[in-house]
Amino acid sequence: MLTAPASNGPSQRLTLPWWRDAVIYQVYVRSFLDSTGDGIGDLAGVRSGLPYLKKLGVDGIWLSPFYPSPQHDHGYDVADYTGVDPVYGDLGEFALLVGDAHRLDIKVLLDIVPNHCSSEHPWFQQALAAGPGSEARSRFHFVPGRGPGGDLPPNNWHAMFGGPAWSRVTEADGTPGEWYLHMFTPEQPDLNWRNPAVGALFDQVLRCWLDRGVDGFRIDVAAGLFKHPELPDSPDPEADARTRDSVNPLAWNQPEVHQVWRRWREVCEEYTALDGRERLLVGEVSVPTAREHALYVRPDELHQAFFFDLLGAAWDASAFRTVITDALRDIAGTGSSVTWVLNNHDQVRTVTRYGESDPKGSGLGAARARAAALLMLALPGAAYVYQGEELGLPEVVDLPDEVLTDPIFRRTGSRARVRDGCRVPLPWSGHASPFGFSAGTQVKPWLPQPGWFAEHATDRALADPRSFWHLYREGLQLRRGLPQLGEGALRWLESPPQVLAFERGDGLICAVNFGTEPVPAPAAGAPLLSSGTCPAGTLPGSTAAWWVVASATNPHARPISSQ
Ligand code: NOJ
């Protein structure tokens, strides 16, 4: 039996902190709902969507960056960490959004980007003007180049989005000058966290938003921040370039980063001590193993860190089992709770990733995505749901080149079509674009929506009891009502190799058939909830189901047919 301990250091209270088993909905603001009719989602749109999210049953929302930004990486290039970009609204609208969310008992998490800022941030502009050797430049990584005339980059590091991780500036006198480091695009210069001014800036930023009422932060690139002080060559630059993952051991996962998370945790605890509200830090942590990941969620560091291995696992029972076992052993073992993720704004959507060939998403990929959702919601810990996941939206794989805006496409010489297809604005209603996303029918959303989005629109999903939406809603409701779900023990049950079956707490059984042929159900009777039709006594292929076997008196011990 694997048990997740019920405490996490300084936050230990008699009742469990809300975040330990919360389900958070990721709002990609740009693509959620557009209230102004300019084709771009905004904060007022998010506010008007809150009742929809309440009905779905999530505990909180994470808002993708809405700060002033030239949008070279859709807001992950921040020019002002404490403002709102006029494209998305203003501070007044933000305050209304937080107020409404809290009235509905929905927590609000912001996305904070401490590894890099925008090249339009005043600090970077000052650094360009101030020249070599200045204090302004020491807030970034400015260094002379190598080779004759300093014409070569200072080292062999690759940027995550393609090309070298260095760009050269032209000094004020017009001569070719120093190089600066950017692990993503040249418009996103990396900050130098060895300069105390950087930490001090982010202390102020955290406090500013905490004072404005937010419940916590999703931290971008949380294993970044510190680079090896000597900036030496990477031992395997080709691997860094190939995987587009944080594999360069000199640029990522440096031990000094942990002191930042201790500091941020202190700031959160300070606010909690004032008003008793638990604040949450959840890190985007990409590191090679679950064991290294666990270091980020030690009791005095981040509360949680996304565990991307579930997202990365192929549709295969033993792959999923290994990932789940490692996470529960290494992460829950620290006292944190595992933070499960199947989708986000950087990944191909599950319906497509799990083998969809039909763009409308009604086939195998959809069945597997439904099953994966029930699996995730039955695991101990917290879960993050990316907008559109509750609609079973497939990836839009055929966007024409000219509409693509992901900087990865441009930086890889138009080779990698990676992240636009999961960011297409949500369909809400109707039969034609903008499908209720924008106020007005003539508006063109910032990325074009295909005609088949109509079949996934929220109005249809709500009206169809067999939709993804109802599956998520039932799952979330049951999670709230059943003491076995959320935190607690997971015990694997004997099952055929293509099946995962486990028991949560006392008598809640979840099974997933990763194969294509039916298998005998691991529990008698009709399931409490299933991702597809389950004929008596069987679990069909590509299907997951939950059963309550222990207590006939349990008020939830009744079958719910979701398809
Ligand atoms: C991770 C974010 O999820 C991604 O969208 C962004 O482009 C990079 N970090 C750089 O900030």
Q: Considering only CA atoms, which of 154, 330, 300, 315 is closest in space to residue 234?
A: 154
Q: Considering only CA atoms, which of 277, 328, 278 is closest in space to residue 303?
A: 278
> Does the pLDDT at position 478 exceed 50?
yes
**Ligand 1 mutation pick, 28, 31, 76, 187, max ligand atoms within 8 A of CB:** 76
pLDDT digits (tens, 9 = 90+) for 491-508: 999 999 999 999 998 899
DSSP of 334-354: GT---EEES--TTS--HHHHT
User: What is the distance between the alpha carbons of residues 493 and 549, in angstroms, rounded to a whole number?
Assistant: 14
| CATH 3.20.20.80 for the 13-115+193-385+466-470 domain, yes or no | yes
> Does the pLDDT at position 227 exceed 70?
yes
pLDDT, average across residues 367-379: 98
Q: Considering only CA atoms, which of 49, 16, 59, 150 is closest in space to residue 384?
A: 59
3-state secondary structure of 539: strand
pLDDT, average across residues 56-77: 98
Q: What is the 3-state secondary structure (H, E, C) of 408-452?
A: HHHHCCCCCCCCCCCCCCCCCCCCCCCCCCECCCCCCCCCCCCHH
Q: Which CATH number describes the domain made up of 489-563? A: 2.60.40.1180
Phi-psi region of 282 (alpha: psi -120 to 50; beta: other; left: phi over 0): beta
42 included as an active-site residue: no
- For the ranges 33-42, 214-223, 362-371, the lowest mean pLDDT is seen at 362-371
pLDDT for the residue numbered 219 = 98
Type of residue found at 26: Q
Ligand 1 centroid to residue 76 C-alpha, Å: 6
Q: How far apart, in Å, are the Cα atoms of 376 and each of 296, 340, 342, 387? A: 22, 7, 8, 16
Read off the pLDDT band of 237 (50, 70, 90).
confident
Ligand 1 centroid to residue 64 C-alpha, Å: 10
Ligand 1 centroid to residue 477 C-alpha, Å: 31
pLDDT digits (tens, 9 = 90+) for 142-153: 999 999 999 999
Closest residue CA from atom 11 of ligand 1: 76
| Secondary structure tally for the chain: helices H, strands E | 14, 18
Query: Of residues 16 and 309, which shows the higher confidence score?
Result: 309
For residue 306, the cross-strand partners are 339
C-alpha 440: how far from its chain's center? 30
Q: Which CATH number describes the domain made up of 122-181? A: 3.90.400.10
pLDDT for the residue numbered 417 = 78
Please give the share of the chain, as a percent, with pLDDT higher than 90. 82
pLDDT for the residue numbered 402 = 93
Task: Find the residues whose C-beta lies inside 6 A of ligand 1.
Answer: 73, 76, 113, 184, 220-221, 284, 345-346
pLDDT, average across residues 115-134: 98
pLDDT, average across residues 524-539: 95
pLDDT for the residue numbered 537 = 94
Place of tokens 């250091």: 9
Query: Of residues 329 and 562, which shows the higher confidence score?
Result: 329
Sign of torsion over alpha carbons 367, 370, 376, 378: negative
**Average pLDDT score over the chain:** 92
Considering 270, 316, 358, 517, which one is annotated as catalytic? 270
> Does the pLDDT at position 106 exceed 70?
yes
User: Around 234, how many Cα atoms within 13 Å sit in the side-chain half-sphere?
Assistant: 21
The domain locations on the chain are: 13-115+193-385+466-470, 122-181, 489-563
171 included as an active-site residue: no
pLDDT digits (tens, 9 = 90+) for 416-437: 778 999 999 999 999 999 999 9
